[in-house]
Chains A and B, each alone.
Chain A
Amino acid sequence: MPRIIPCLDVKEGRVVKGVGFKNLREAGDPVELAKLYDQQGADELVFLDITATIEARAAMADIVYAVAGQVFIPLTVGGGVRSENDVQKLLSAGADKISVNSAAIQNPMLISNAAKRFGAQCITLAIDAKKDSRNNQSGFSVYSHGGTRHSGLDAIAWAKEAQERGAGEILATSMDRDGKKNGFDLPLLTKIAQAVDIPIIASGGAGEMEHFKDVLKIPSITGALAASLFHYREMSIAQLKTYLQEQGISMRITEEISQHSCP
């Protein structure tokens, strides 16, 4: 069953995307938001640490620890993961999967070693990809450091290499679509899906419920991620899942969702 995955960008202990100031839900507290999404029927949660300092990074482990004690769905944590030691710390705080990005580009052995030590199922490779006219392989290049540096890697070749090195999943974000709300990057995601056998989470561009339907039709795309859409309450996870179910895409419908959708 495809997964609907809210993403919480965390900076110094607070959720920074989609933070409003009206009520608890928009108070930017990651633990409260995680609980809310869990109640709404989120299938997994992704936490991305966009903190710059090492001191604040320790706060991320505390957040994961707090969430993992109250929310019993899978938690993926990433952002600034540089070493096996970082992976270990987040796993012991209660993360189920760790996503690696820039550090894996600099040192691909991080994927191999972490997959070997902790199991392929808990290593997710996050790829930030952008259409690139200079790239004559797939036409999509990988960027690192929060999308600021052209890595020189081809997005499709990198996805394949990550699978060979033992990654259990790919989180593919289209930088061209991110925040644009004009739909997921179907050409990019289709290419990655055709190249690997492991599950892929699509990210970047979700704006309408229909966008989720379109992307989840691609084989191997077993998860769709969105952030501000859910944070800003443009749509609720319950509404979205009810819609997708009606469109013939089988969803995990919890009691809360069925109550929500009943008039």
Chain B
Amino acid sequence: MGETAIIDYGSGNIRSVARALEAAGAREIYIGAEPKRLQKADRLVLPGVGALGSCLEKLRAQQGLLETLEACVLEKGKPFLGICVGMQVMVEKGFEYGKQRALGWFKGSVRRLNPNKLNSDKNAYLPVPHMGWNNLQQLQPHPLLQGVTEGEPVYFVHSFSVCENNPACAIAQVQYGAPTLAVLAKNSIVGVQFHPEKSQHTGQKILANFLAWRP
């Protein structure tokens, strides 16, 4: 297993992600955003917390970072894992405090959760952010979820979620008032809306699967 790079662009719980990856078996971890180092890494992880717009701004502010990522991931097919907002940045656009143009690696948009829209039961009101554990419903098999049983819970903290129109890319979802995309994937790219680094044993399995993944 070669080096895993955690992209540090000033957003995200870098340290938590690094320690969870170590516990999942990562031997060498690079934390940073230097294009040359990212090119050398075997696989890339993009964490992200906070607002989509500010994450996109910070990504774009790093000299040469986006170009490097696109060359590594879209052209060379390096395994890439986007976590939470790190998943959200991959679609075309977002609507968090205004409108954002995102990276466009996937079709679709990032929209505010509206879990009570279809729910007239006042006694079942669902708060936003969606904060806590929820059961993964697997829509199709993917190496990232190998060994994860149907319905295993993972930890979420988010107010916005990805609406991707292409069912071929939707790997898993959870129910939060409505079906909510939890895992998105194509080629060598996966995105997870939940926090595998905070999802105890299930999260550890998912991170270990990512480290072993050879797309």
Binding site for B on A (CB under 8 A): 1-3, 38, 43, 68-70, 72-74, 91-94, 96, 118-122, 168-169, 193, 196-200, 217, 219-220, 222-223, 252, 254-255
Pairwise interchain contact A252-B153, C-beta atoms closer than 8 A: yes
Interface SS majority for chain A: loop
The stretch of B36-44, B124-132, B162-170, B185-193 in contact with A is B124-132
Instruction: Tell me how many residues of B have a C-beta within 8 Å of chain A.
Output: 35
CB-nearest residue of chain B to A38: B200
Pairwise interchain contact A197-B128, C-beta atoms closer than 8 A: yes
CB-nearest residue of chain A to B124: A219
Pairwise interchain contact A94-B16, C-beta atoms closer than 8 A: yes
> When each residue 7-31 of chain B gets 1 if its CB lies under 8 Å from chain A and 0 otherwise, what string results?
0000001011001100100000000
In angstroms, Cα B204 to Cα A254, docked, is 14
Pairwise interchain contact A1-B134, C-beta atoms closer than 8 A: yes
Q: Does B142 reach chain A (CB closer than 8 Å)? A: no
Across the interface, A118 reaches (CB within 8 A) one of B50, B122, B133, B200, namely B50
In angstroms, Cα B135 to Cα A252, docked, is 8
In angstroms, Cα B23 to Cα A70, docked, is 8
Pairwise interchain contact A91-B13, C-beta atoms closer than 8 A: yes
In angstroms, Cα B126 to Cα A220, docked, is 6
Residues of B contacting A2 with CB < 8 Å? 132
Across the interface, B198 reaches (CB within 8 A) one of A73, A92, A222, namely A73
In angstroms, Cα B13 to Cα A91, docked, is 8
CB-nearest residue of chain A to B207: A72
Pairwise interchain contact A94-B201, C-beta atoms closer than 8 A: no
Pairwise interchain contact B127-A94, C-beta atoms closer than 8 A: no
Q: Does B65 reach chain A (CB closer than 8 Å)? A: no
CB distance from A261 to the nearest CB of B (A): 17
Residues of A contacting B124 with CB < 8 Å? 219
In angstroms, Cα B124 to Cα A193, docked, is 12
Interface SS majority for chain B: mixed
CB-nearest residue of chain B to A121: B157
Residues of A contacting B135 with CB < 8 Å? 1
Binding site for A on B (CB under 8 A): 13, 15-16, 19-20, 23, 49-51, 122-129, 131-135, 153, 155, 157-159, 195, 197-201, 203-204
CB distance from A119 to the nearest CB of B (A): 3
Across the interface, A168 reaches (CB within 8 A) one of B13, B126, B129, namely B129
Pairwise interchain contact A169-B131, C-beta atoms closer than 8 A: yes
A-B contact pairs, 8 of them (CB 8 A): A43-B132, A68-B16, A68-B19, A69-B19, A94-B16, A200-B127, A219-B126, A220-B125
In angstroms, Cα B129 to Cα A91, docked, is 19
Residues of A contacting B195 with CB < 8 Å? 74
Pairwise interchain contact A72-B134, C-beta atoms closer than 8 A: no
In angstroms, Cα B197 to Cα A197, docked, is 26
Pairwise interchain contact A121-B49, C-beta atoms closer than 8 A: yes
Across the interface, B153 reaches (CB within 8 A) one of A1, A91, A122, namely A1
CB-nearest residue of chain A to B198: A74
CB distance from A229 to the nearest CB of B (A): 20
CB distance from B149 to the nearest CB of A (A): 10
If A1-B134, A72-B203, A96-B198 touch, whether A199 touches B129 (CB-CB below 8 Å) is yes
In angstroms, Cα B51 to Cα A120, docked, is 9
Pairwise interchain contact B200-A121, C-beta atoms closer than 8 A: no
Across the interface, A3 reaches (CB within 8 A) one of B20, B127, B133, B200, namely B133
In angstroms, Cα B159 to Cα A119, docked, is 11
In angstroms, Cα B125 to Cα A68, docked, is 32
If A1-B153, A122-B49, A219-B123 touch, whether A72 touches B129 (CB-CB below 8 Å) is no
Pairwise interchain contact A121-B158, C-beta atoms closer than 8 A: yes
Pairwise interchain contact B133-A1, C-beta atoms closer than 8 A: yes
CB-nearest residue of chain B to A250: B135
CB distance from A224 to the nearest CB of B (A): 12
Of the candidates B127, B129, B133, the one having the most CB atoms from chain A within 10 angstroms of its own CB is B127
Residues of A contacting B50 with CB < 8 Å? 118-119, 121
Pairwise interchain contact B132-A72, C-beta atoms closer than 8 A: no
- Nearest first, the 3 closest Cβ-Cβ pairs linking A and B are A119-B50, A219-B125, A199-B127
In angstroms, Cα B102 to Cα A97, docked, is 27
Residues of A contacting B20 with CB < 8 Å? 72
CB distance from A4 to the nearest CB of B (A): 10
If A3-B132, A94-B19 touch, whether A254 touches B200 (CB-CB below 8 Å) is yes
